[in-house]
Structure 1
């Protein structure tokens, strides 16, 4: 008898459950990803997700500060 299958490890995500896309920058005001990145997140490799998560903080400056004041 084989051992029961282990559930997959959870996928790391920068999502903070604030899903509002800024029309000007095209970035989510919560996690700074694009809609395409959000949609493809589960298909990215672990390396791709890590690389992108390292880049996300620098994207904050692409959003006008008054818009971020509503969220964070």
Structure 2
């Protein structure tokens, strides 16, 4: 089971990304129905998004 990346700091920016967990709104909505493999893909996208941000 893949743990949710939610950090309870939920706020969407202009790109519809959560500033707490870096998931896109579509990823947040779908999280509960995703397979573990799909969740792992979302987590990989989150890591890339964080790395691309100058503040991280």
Classify the TM-score, shorter chain: 0.7 to 0.9
Deviation at 1:54, TM superposition (A): 1.8
Give the gaps of 5 or more residues in structure 1.
1-8
Please report the TM-score for the alignment, with normalisation by the length of structure 1: 0.64
Question: Which residue of the partner structure matches residue 31 of structure 2?
Answer: 41
Larger Rg, first or second structure (1 or 2): 1
Deviation at 1:14, TM superposition (A): 0.6
How many residues were matched structurally? 55
Give the gaps of 5 or more residues in structure 2.
none
CA RMSD of the aligned region, Å?
2.0
Q: What's the CA shift string for 1:14-56, capped at 9, x where partnerless?
A: 1111100001x22100111111110110000010001111220
Please report the TM-score for the alignment, with normalisation by the length of structure 2: 0.79
Moved over 6 A (4+): none
Which structure is higher in helix share?
2
Question: Which residue of the partner structure matches residue 19 of structure 1?
Answer: 10
